[in-house]
Amino acid sequence: MKGVEGWRGGGRGIAKALTVSFLAIAAFLSFPDIAHACPVCFDANGEVRLAFIVTTGFLTFLPLLMVAAVFFWAKKKFQEMDGEAES
């Protein structure tokens, strides 16, 4: 059974991965314009900014509304089952 060094090629793979990672991070830090994930976040246009805010609000409250809907649906089903059990 080979040790870790034999399996990874004597640590050369780790050094290469670290070098590539360092170069990628250095490129993103040197050129911050390429690191922007979403140009809408930095747009000064009022219409685009409003759409971004509305979408953010919608995506924030959607999971809460889904959980509330499941809760009220389950509550209704349990009340129906209690009504059937009593009669």
Per-residue pLDDT of 19-55, as tens digits, reads: 888 888 887 777 766 656 565 556 666 777 788 889 9
CA–CA separation, 86 and 39 (whole Å): 60
pLDDT at 73: 96
Query: Global pTM?
Result: 0.45
Looking up tokens 């979403």 gives 38
Burial 41-80 (b: 16+ CB within 10 A, else e): eeeeeeeeeeeeeeeeeeeeeeeeeeeeeeeeeeeeeeee
Token pair, residue 47, equals 């219409």
Domains of the chain, by residue range, sit at: 1-35, 38-87
pLDDT at 43: 61
